[in-house]
Each structure stands twice: as C-alpha cells, then as structure tokens.
Amino acid sequence: MALRVAIVILNWNGRADTIACVESVLANDHENFFVVVADNGSTDDSVRALRQQFPHITLVENGDNLGFAAGNNRGIEAALAAGAEVVVLLNNDTIVAPDWLSNLADAANQLAPGSVLGAKIFYSQQPEVIWHFGAHWQADKSRFQILGRGQTDHQWPDLQPVDMIIGCCMWIPRDTLQKVGLLEPSFFLNYEETDWCWRAKQAGVTCYSVPQAHLWHKISASFVGKPHNAYFIFRNRLLWLERQFSGLEYLRHYCRMALSEHLKIRRKLALRLLQIQLLKLLGKQPATQVAEKVAFYRAALMGVQDYRARRFGNCPPQVLALSKTTPPSQVG
C-alpha cells in the first residue's frame, strides 16, 4: 500500500491559481493522497469557490493572513490529524505533472527513511527552463547557490543532495516533522523553509532534489522586485543568521551576507535621493524607475530596523503602501 500523502496548499486571494493547482494535483497518478487547502482569510470568494468545485478536499479556514509559515502550519496540523504519513507543501501558483507525486514517492522509497524531497521546478512562462532545483550552502562565500536556474531538464538528470529545498514544493515525512517541528512563524514570509531545512540537517535529516518530479511555477509579479519582498528578505536574513550561527561564525557570515548589503543599500538610497533633489532643482520630474528604487531601498532598510527592534510577523503598513504604489521592476 502506498504511503498516505497529504498535499497542503496555502491560499490567500489566489482563487484562480489555487483551483488550477488543485486540478493538476487531483490528476496525479499516485494511489493514496488527499488535498488540504489552508486559506489565509481570503476576500476573493476563494473559500466558497473551492468548496463548490472540490467538495471532497479538506479546507482549513485560518480567518486571517497568517503568512506562509503559520498558514502552512495550520494545514500541516490538519493533515497530520487526518492520518497523513507524508506532508507535501505546495505553492498554490504551481501546476504539477501527472507523475509528479509518484516520482517523489518512488525516490523516497529508495532513500533513507525520513528524507526530505524537493522537485525540479520550471518557470511557468518558460516551461523548458528550470527556476529552482534546490540549493547548496557555500560557507566560504556566505550564500546559497541555487541549482539549475536558467538551465534545462537534461542538464540536471540526477538526484541531488542539497542543503535547502524551497517551500514551493517540499515532501516531508511525518516522523521528520515530529523530529524537526513546524515552520517558524516569526519569518511570516521568506527564509522559513531555509530555516526549516537547516534545522532538519542539524537533526540528521538529508534533503534531496528529485529530477523526475516536475512542476511549473508562476513567479509572482506582485512580489518579486517589490518593496515588501525587500523588507522580508533583509529582515529575515538577519533572523536566520541569528538562529543558525553564533560567535565568530555568525560574525563572518553577517559581514559577508548582510552588512555589506546594508551598506550598499544605504549608499544607493543616498545617491538616488540626491539625484531626485538635483532633478527638482532643474525643474524636472524623476523617472518612475528612480522612485521605484527609492521605495525598494527604503523598505529593505525598514526590514533591518524592524529586525533590530525585534518586530517580526507581517510587514508594517508603510511598507505595504510603498508596494502598492510601485510596479514590479528589476531593482538594482
């Protein structure tokens, strides 16, 4: 008998994406699985639509936007209570291949019990191009190296032991969840899966990326390159460093991974503000791109300030306000 697997999908005002994701999951050929959708207080009629279209799935109503970590934790708890032997976290803006789950299960059967698995994730807009295939921690450079990005399927044919599996798709056995624990809710969004994988590694669990397990991810234009993304990355990177390193090791990684970026952002912000003042003196309006970059840099520094003030959870209203007035762009 195949392991009983729960697919946990977090939804927040993503009705169309979530419906498409669930449809692709239900088309999988694995013998024994069920779907749990955890809804983070959506206001787009997601709950009614999901109930109507998929009456047999488990729907957990969180009632508010709890973030990625805490929202998924509610789904995980519901899955375990329903007898899941494996929990698979899956982003709602993904489409999975029909053999995605069976390929994950086949890999799990060949590996040590308790192993954590990730998939080969492709860009939805470029279906042949890999977005993420796990990551290795490069201690000498204090950074993660993402595997496969921008490459194609045949370039990564083998199972890969990795240090980090992105939360877009994570196969986690029940025993491993009980050993490692749930996602840390303080992160709210970003770095929670990095933190979890690091804790798993410390507990003696190995993570692998499975080359035959394919899915396609719609990279969110409402998040990438936006000020609130910068806020979470800069704040949560500091929280992750604090939680995982100490002493001289912490200081070394902090200087390479965080301090240099903070100084660079402060310098860029000062230059952009000076540019705006000079343009005003000349009677000219700054280009939209300049305003976007200023918003991005300010949000990043707010994230650093909130880390120092021990303010975690969701980002403050002023960061959300910056994001609402800033179209997505490449910020450098």
**pLDDT tens digit sequence for 176-202:** 999 999 999 999 999 999 999 999 999
In the 3-class helix/strand/coil scheme, how is the chain assigned residue by residue?
CCCCEEEEEEECCCHHHHHHHHHHHHCCCCCCEEEEEEECCCCCCHHHHHHHHCCCCEEEECCCCCHHHHHHHHHHHHHHHCCCCEEEEEECCEEECCCHHHHHHHHHHHCCCCCEEEEEEEECCCCCEEEECCEEEECCCCEEEECCCCCEHHHCCCCEEECECCCCEEEEEHHHHHHHCCCCHHHCCCCHHHHHHHHHHHCCCCEEEEEEEEEEECCCCCCCCCHHHHHHHHHHHHHHHHHHCCHHHHHHHHHHHHHHHHHHHHHHHHHHHHHHHHHHHCCCCCCHHHHHHHHHHHHHHHHHHHHHCCCCCCCCHHHHHHHHCCCCCCCC
**Model-level pTM greater than 0.85?**
yes
Low-confidence ranges of the chain (pLDDT < 70): 220-225, 325-332
Q: Across the chain, what does the average pLDDT equal?
A: 94
Domain ranges of the chain: 5-217, 227-324
Would you tell me which CATH number, out of the four given (3.90.1280.10, 3.40.50.2300, 3.90.550.60, 1.10.3720.10), belongs to the domain 5-217?
A: 3.90.550.60
Quick one: pLDDT at residue 283?
Answer: 86
